Amino acid sequence: MNAPDAIKTKHADASTDVELYCMQCGYNLRGLAGDPKRCPECGKDNSLEVLLFPAARIARQLRFLEGAPTLTFAGLLLIGFGGLVLFSESPLSRVRNLEAAIVSASVPALLGLICCVLGTVRFAASCLHRPGWRSTLLRFQAYAAVIFIIGLVTVFGTILIPALGPFGTIFRPMNGLVTLTTLGIMWLVCVWSIRKLYRRTRAELEVLQREVAVAMYREEHNH
């Protein structure tokens, strides 16, 4: 084997651990060996030399695309926490120091607003302002909120159900068994729901990721 062929083979073997995307449909080719890499979804033969050149830049761009919605959701949680602080110290909760409540709530709310703006701007830039990025981001926040609520209800339910004895005196002889069964079902539903919503969220982002990968390959090779 001559030197160029040896170098080519080395790159082909190493590329199985690199995030590479089909130039036609954006399918993730990670783990596929050989050069060219045939896309299992659309059948296009992708030259390894062409794929490797912009691979690092595309992978970095797609990491930003994944992380930005999480930053936005963290901002929404901070804003919600600020609202909770304001309500807990407001006249509605029989605490009359409204000025202190506003000051206490403004810090997390301001940080949350900054995170929301940065996350939104970063997401828009990372997906190259592709059509539908706003609706994808909104759906991500909706799924994340449902996952958060399900997790919260499950955790608090795990704490409260044994303490409250929800089945009363009628089922007292079987209270322990009934409680454990209830908690088990609750956690199974929680895990199943979160897994399903997480997969749906990932699928939403994957559509954009593939579009961005294809657009960046085309932009790179049009220059």
Question: Rounded to two decimals, what is the model's pTM?
Answer: 0.67
Provide, rounded to the nearest whole percent, the portion of the chain with pLDDT above 90.
13
Same domain, 85 and 125: yes
Query: Most confidently modeled of 31-40, 95-104, 146-155?
Result: 146-155
pLDDT for 138 beyond 80: yes
Residue 150 lies in a domain: yes
Whether 27 and 45 map to the same domain: the answer is: yes
pLDDT surpasses 70 at 128: yes
- pLDDT tens, position by position, 41-85: 888 887 777 677 666 777 778 788 888 999 999 999 999 988 887
Give the pLDDT score at 92: 52
Last residue of a domain, one of 129, 147, 176: 129
Residue 189 lies in a domain: yes
Q: Among 129, 144, 173, identify where a domain stops.
A: 129
Question: Is 104 buried (19+), middle (13-18) or exposed (0-12) by CB count in 10 A?
Answer: middle
Other Cβ atoms within 10 Å of 114 Cβ, number: 13
For residues 88 and 122, membership in a common domain is answered with yes
Q: What are the phi and psi torsion angles at 25 (to 5°)?
A: -120, -10
Integer Cα distance of 133 and 154 in angstroms:
32
Specify if 213 maps to a domain.
no
Structural domain contains residue 174: yes
**Residue 195 pLDDT > 50, yes or no?**
yes
pLDDT 10s digits, 142-169: 988 988 888 888 888 777 766 665 444 4
- Domain of residue 93 covers 54-129
Number of folded domains in the chain? 3
Q: Is residue 214 part of a domain?
A: no
